[in-house]
Amino acid sequence: MKKILFICLMALAWGMQAKAGNYPDRSDYLWMTVPDHANWLYKTGENANIEIQFYKYGIPRDAKVSYEIADDMLEADKRGTVNLKNGRATLNMGSRKTPGFRDLRLTATVDGKTYSHHVKVGFSVGDIRPFTQEPKDFMDFWKANVKDMEQTPLQYTKEMAKEYCTDKVDCYLVKLQVNRQGQSIYAYLFYPKNAKKGSCPVVLCPPGAGIKTIKEPLRHKYYAENGCVRMEMEIHGLDPRLPQETFKDISTAFNGRENGYLENGLSNRDNYYMKRVYLALVRAIDLLTSLPEWDGKNVIVQGGSQGGALSIIAAGLDSRVTQCVANHPALSDMAAYSVKGRTGGYPHFNRIPGTLTPEKIKTMAYYDVVNFARHVKCDTYMTWGYNDNACPPTTSYAVWNTLNCPKEALLTPINEHWTSEATERGHLDWILKHLK
């Protein structure tokens, strides 16, 4: 079943949490941009008209607004100014001849300060297709590497993490060896208190991008409170208990633009940094399915951004996965920037000189999410926003349109690179509804 659930949030509620007020950032100024299509979507050749509104203290404010219009994540091809009257003006963004997104970028200088805003609208988004093609030996490459990893016995340590235990949840810190070289990853395992043998679905949660500790380990404790074993993992082999200052130092030293881990070894598919990360996903599932508490049926992967990418990758690599939940996946159609006028995904290799070479583009194809998406067979739930400049909507649609499995999507057009608490909790609701 292919079903799209559409939620168009009001601009006034941008970034709002359930308990937040009308202006969560406490700004005196408020932009609103209202497309003349309520779903923010158009057909190629249709013009998109955007009503621009600007307020100070909730009162319409006249201003001269500079604008530029561009295809998603690309250089502007149109610039101009528009004068707001009674705080409002309507601007014709034009259209697209090909499927994709256009971005209206706005700036206004009032009272000596400059305020910016933007809005993206889509054109014939169901026809967006990835630039990235699957190598003929794609699955052979990954099957061989998984088989090689399996020669290393499952080995891990597990110790109680009392600081994250509650009256309903037990937590353990795990160190899991992922290959014969002895490289490992760390993870927190959250169990329902007094979980019975064979009673729990297992949920693997890969992290977002960066070299950092495991973020707020208890933020998803409600998974364990609702009967799941959840694994919050990191990918670099760094103990999450290290001081924050240490993580910052490591990230500064080894994750700059010129030496970031997502470019490390990219000239050769066998030496790329992310190879062991992708294989670690399979090893983590090995661990989860070895637990006596696992119900023997349900294996779920769930994450956002890089974590969303890794969730789809795990589902494409490992047939044990029964559900995949992914927010705005990164690592999607990464090489598309190599073609003029095409939008690529995070980590936006077009911004790193010398990256989009034939050798590196060849390697990218073995690690791109769209190629794993072609092999996903399990129930899949995707979420993305249109205003996202980290993982742009063009590449989310490239993934979505490639998936050939039972799938549902939650579209939140106004969102940038974030999801609300309600959306996050909705993921668990969806998971519980689709258990085997």
**Measured on CA atoms in the order 3, 317, 394, 22, is the torsion positive or negative?**
positive
Hey, what amino acid is at 322?
Answer: T
Q: Tokens 């235990």, residue?
A: 165
From residue 274, how far is each of 277, 280, 281 by CA, in Å? 5, 10, 11
> CB of 229 within 8 A of CB of 200?
yes
388 among known catalytic residues: yes
Catalytic residue among 305, 311, 332, 338: 305
Give yes or no: 270 in active site: no
SS (H, E, C) the chain: CEEEEECCCCHHHCCCCCCCCCCCCCCCEEEEEEECCCCCEECCCCCCEEEEEEEECCEECCCEEEEEEEECCCCCCEEEEEECECCEEEEECCCCCCCEEEEEEEEEEECCEEEEEEEEEEECHHHCCCCCCCCCCHHHHHHHHHHHHCCCCCCEEEEECHHHCCCCEEEEEEEEECCCCCCEEEEEEEEECCCCCCCEEEEEECCCCCCCCCCCHHHHCHHHHCCCEEEEECCCCCCCCCCHHHHHHHHHHHCCCCCCCCCCCCCCCCCCCHHHHHHHHHHHHHHHHHCCCEEEEEEEEEEECHHHHHHHHHHHHCCCCCEEEEECCCCCCHHHHHCCCCCCCCCCHHHCCCCCCHHHHHHHHHHCHHHHHCCCCCEEEEEECCCCCCCCHHHHHHHHHHCCCCEEEEECCCCCCCCCHHHHHHHHHHHHHCCC
Residue 332 among the catalytic residues: no
CB count in 10 Å sphere of residue 87:
17
Catalytic residue among 117, 388, 396, 434: 388
Instruction: Name the one residue in this structure whose structure tokens are 């909705």.
Output: 426
Q: Which of 375, 417, 427, 434 is catalytic?
A: 417
> How is residue 62 written in tokens?
């006249």
Within 13 Å, how many C-alpha atoms sit on residue 89's CB side? 17
- Give the active site residues: 305, 388, 417
